[in-house]
Structure 1
Amino acid sequence: MRLDKFLTECGIGTRREVKDIITKDVVTINNKRVSSPKEKVDLGKDVVKIRETILEYKENRFYVLNKVAGFITATEDPKEKTVMELLPKWVNKKDLFPVGRLDKDTEGLLLFTNNGKIAHELLSPKKHVNKTYLVKLLKEIDEKSVKLLEEGVDIGGYVTKPSKVQIINNTEIFLTISEGRFHQVKKMLESVENKVTYLKRLQFGKLKLGDLPLGEVKEVTLTDIF
């Protein structure tokens, strides 16, 4: 792989930006200074540095964000703040996108990747990937509502698949669903004459939010996801 492409793929900058960096004589391949963007990099053998920082090439990248409320799930928007703005500088944002979506006012686990195939598998209705939410409610929830939610409810011309409800207290539950329809959790609770006052995703497939602080990011691997 050409050096300029390698640096770009590592998230260092655009092709033009990395060429400027290379000409400053701060890039080394196996401790040998290089000044041409055409230099070749062997991904399996060569050690590339910018000054003393070793660059690690990753074809596939996966990051988990504990999303903050007030940001929309999109890569860009002319009016709204997007979740991309929550990603720190150390994250390689090149070709990165969120997998699925969380509502603007929803917090919790949001996965980012540059691998479209993996994203498709996680979101495919055929895969039935479970998602668990902490749901705080306006009113107390009763056994009848729990049974209806678990059996499936009509959310406007569509009956949801069976879900799992775990009661925390009268106005808080854990809700696990295997779908991801628009505003699904909110609509499910509305169907049993209740209302969501707070929503946070805790788990997506095998991925768990755990004790990741609000607004923080961690890198994960494919084995963490499947």
Structure 2
Amino acid sequence: MNSQIERQFQERSKREALRLNKFLSEAGVCSRREADRLIEAGRVTVDGKKAETGMKITPGQEVRVDQKLVKPEEEMIVLAVNKPRGIVCTEEKREPDNIIRFLNYPTRITYAGRLDKDSEGLLLMTNNGDIINKMMRAGNYHEKEYLVTVDKPVTEEFLQHMARGVPILDTVTRPCQVKKEGKKTFRIVLTQGLNRQIRRMCEALGYKVVTLKRVRIMQIRLGDLKPGQYRPLTEQELASLDRMLEHSSNMPERDRKNRERKENRRQKP
């Protein structure tokens, strides 16, 4: 049985004009960024004419990449993966340990939210770019939970600093939930995903991360998946994901806020 997310995606695709890079992403060809590179390189055509960056297409138009016809994926795929340490979240073919090559999944999928090379745990893989954006945009405040071991005892002062927010990367991290789990272990729940955020937060407070495992994304849990294993999401998980993403934006937070400000100005008498 198809999930409501899948049905909504298919119905929207039938009636809406889409940016070409988004169409290629949702069709399972590549990421939006890589799609832009393909378009700029002249490898994409629409109705037999060379495509242009930023263009939109409507249902019924013929899109080809390197002369190969592109069709939207009929079946939405969402996998829960236990990424091992040493595997890299990238589609770069020159990286021998990239996650795509490691999984060797028969259908083109990509990751929703990176884990760095030295981190492990729950990673979602899908062929639906819209879901990826809605799940991972910081402005949607969706939770990601991690279990972290550091190089020295976790103190109450450390926990309080982590929970309040830590200055890193020219900003201060959002307040978050932090709980001590053992002498050198703590659990942390984030609603943003800055580059190497937890490692940088710990380093700023004089700690070094020894192990870092993501155990939950929103309502989806790692459970007993062993490193390297994956499973499709259950219908119950997909239905819950659908509810949680219903009012989420797939726009970057800055763009969303700019749009909201413009709409508010238009509504003022």
The answer, yes or no, to whether TM exceeds 0.5 is yes
Q: With the length of structure 2 as denominator, give the TM-score of the two structures.
A: 0.59
Gaps of 5+ in 2: 1-26, 28-72, 245-269
Deviation at 1:224, TM superposition (A): 5.0
Structure 1 unaligned residues grouped into runs of 5+: 1-8, 10-56
Are 1:166 and 2:179 matched, yes or no? yes
User: TM-score normalised to the size of structure 1?
Assistant: 0.70
Q: Does 1:76 align with 2:89?
A: no
TM superposition shift of 1:79: 3.4
Q: Would the aligned equivalents of 1:75 and 1:98 in 2 still touch at CA under 8 Å? A: no
Q: Is the 8 A contact 1:65 1:109 kept in 2?
A: yes
Hey, what's the Cα distance between the residues in 1 that align with 2:224 and 2:173? 30
- Offset of residue 85 of structure 1: 2.5
Contact 1:207/1:224, CA 8 A, preserved across alignment = no
- Tell me what 2:228 maps to: 215
Query: Offset at 1:175?
Result: 1.0
Deviation by residue 1:124-148 (Cα, 9 ceiling, x = unmatched): 1111111111100001111111111
The C-alpha deviation readout for 1:14-61, integer Å capped at 9, x for no partner, is xxxxxxxxxxxxxxxxxxxxxxxxxxxxxxxxxxxxxxxxxxx85211
TM-align CA RMSD: 1.9
Specify which of 117, 126, 130 is matched with residue 113 of structure 1: 126
The match for 1:176 is 189
Question: What CA distance in whole angstroms lies between the structure 1 residues aligned with 2:215 and 2:120?
Answer: 9
In structure 2, the partner of 1:63 is: 79
**Structure-2 separation of matches of 1:192 and 1:80:** 34
Rate the CA distance shift 1:156–1:75 in 2: closer, same or farther, 3 A: closer
The one-character-per-residue Cα deviations of 1:93-141 (angstroms, maximum 9, x if unpaired) are 22x1111100001110000111111111001111111111110000111
Give the distance between the partners of 1:111 and 1:142, measured in 2 at CA: 32
Tell me the SS of whatever aligns to 1:132. strand
Q: How many percent identity over aligned positions?
A: 30
Is 2:115 the counterpart of 1:132? no
Aligned length: 169
1:146 is paired with a residue whose SS is helix
Match of 2:107 in 1: 93
Please identify runs of 4+ aligned residues in structure 1 that moved more than 6 A. none
Select the structure that is richer in helix: 2
Q: Secondary structure at the match of 2:140?
A: coil
SS of residue matched to 2:167 = coil
Q: Give 3-state SS (helix, strand or coil) of 2:192's partner.
A: coil
